[in-house]
Amino acid sequence: MSLQFHSVPVTPFQQNCTLLWCEDSKRAAVVDPGGDIDKILAAVEERGLKLEKILLTHGHLDHVGGTAALSKQLQLPVEGPHQDDNFWIEQLPVQAQMFGFPAVEVFTPNRWLEQGDTVSVGDEELEVHHCPGHTPGHVVFFHRQSKLALVGDVLFAGSIGRTDFPQGDHDTLIRSIKKRLWPLGDEVRFVPGHGPMSTFGQERQTNPFVADKRFG
């Protein structure tokens, strides 16, 4: 398989910042650099990768807090999330204060993403799926050949994202999971924003929030 990945837990929230790279070219993207940039760059160096961009699933601090600094330091373009999360990005300084994080800078992504877009990592391509509910502009990245999804805070092993934030909505989140994620296939493995990996098939069987038996 030509697309490789490695997750690095960052910030006090242990957010899964994930390196994605094309094995042929060693060109890489960092998905959701929430903070702890040194830790991320060490993982990049260890593998001999060349970072070419930053991809973002949504605008929450623990996922994007390191974006401005990292993109400045290495001149990296930022792709994602969907524009509906711009209000979260604009509020980053407030989020940082609220959670006792070091001060973070606001940034403007070079590219907002939409349902049906694709993003490249080296010679590989990932599909973009817009999955609102946890935040209105949340996107999921899907590599069809290796059946790997990076789902941010949409879905976790045994749980789903919180919906009690501004513009969060529980029914919308459930619909995103059922209409946008399940059709990608039961065998799809996913890296969630926090905690261990799982598969869509496993969650359809046992996740108390979205298991098929809940919906009959």
Q: Which residues bind Zn ion (CB under 5 A)?
A: 60, 62, 153, 193
Is the CB of 62 or the CB of 124 nearer to Zn ion?
A: 62
Contact assessment for residue 136 and residue 173, using Cβ atoms and an 8 Å cutoff? no
Q: 90-113: buried (b, 16+ CB within 10 Å) or exposed (e) per residue?
A: ebbeebbeeeebeebeebebeebb
Q: How many whole angstroms separate alpha carbon 214 and alpha carbon 126?
A: 31
Min CB(116)–Zn ion separation in Å = 23
Q: How far is the CB of 172 from Zn ion (least distance, A)?
A: 14
Least distance to Zn ion from the beta carbon of 89, Å? 12
- Whichever of 10 and 22 has its CB closer to Zn ion, that residue is 10
Between 3 and 151, whose beta carbon lies closer to Zn ion? 151
Q: Least distance in Å: CB of 22 to Zn ion?
A: 26
- CB nearer to Zn ion: pick between 49 and 64: 64
Specify the residue, 122 or 193, whose C-beta has the smaller distance to Zn ion. Answer: 193
Structure tokens at 37: 């940039």
The least distance separating Zn ion from the CB of residue 138, rounded to whole angstroms, comes to: 8
Per the CB < 8 A criterion, the answer to whether 73 and 48 are in contact is no
Q: Which residues contact 124 (CB under 8 A, 6 or more apart)?
A: 2, 3, 20, 22, 143, 145
* Contact predicate 17/10, CB 8 Å: yes
